[in-house]
Amino acid sequence: MFEKLELTRMAQALASYSGTRVETVARNIANADTPGYRAMDMPAFGSIVEDSAFALRATRANHLTSQSFRMPQAKPSGSDMAPNGNDVSLDAQMRQAMEARQSHEMALAIYRSTSAIIRTSLGRNS
């Protein structure tokens, strides 16, 4: 039932994106002292949504092929490099971690609100 609601699908995609971004940031922080390591980051969620979530969808078997949310790959962030070739900035990584956390919390809040609305509409208040 929830899969058919665009809002819950969007919240699920945002939660998945946020989890992947946290993994990317954690990998960057773990390699902060690794010579030659390039910091990675995910593209903005808005650009991902424009490409996949609102694309045309198939309504019949002979219609267009359905597009679903696909997690993009992290790309180098391209900041200043240290003398050892490492470009990880811990300040930037902490900012990105907080942004990912806020996005994840927002996705969970949307999902909870949608669930509460559906339960209320079905007459199940608990």
- Residue 41 falls within a domain, yes or no? yes
Question: Which pLDDT score, from 0 to 100, does residue 67 have?
Answer: 45
Question: Which pLDDT score, from 0 to 100, does residue 126 have?
Answer: 58
Strand partners, 41: 75
88: left (phi over 0), alpha (psi -120 to 50) or beta: beta
Please tell me the pTM assigned to this model: 0.70
- Residue 126 falls within a domain, yes or no? no
Q: How many domains does the chain have?
A: 1
* Segments forming the whole domain that contains residue 71: 2-121
> Which tens digit of pLDDT belongs to each residue from 68-122?
556 667 777 766 777 787 888 889 899 999 999 999 999 999 988 888 888 888 8
- Residue 18 falls within a domain, yes or no? yes
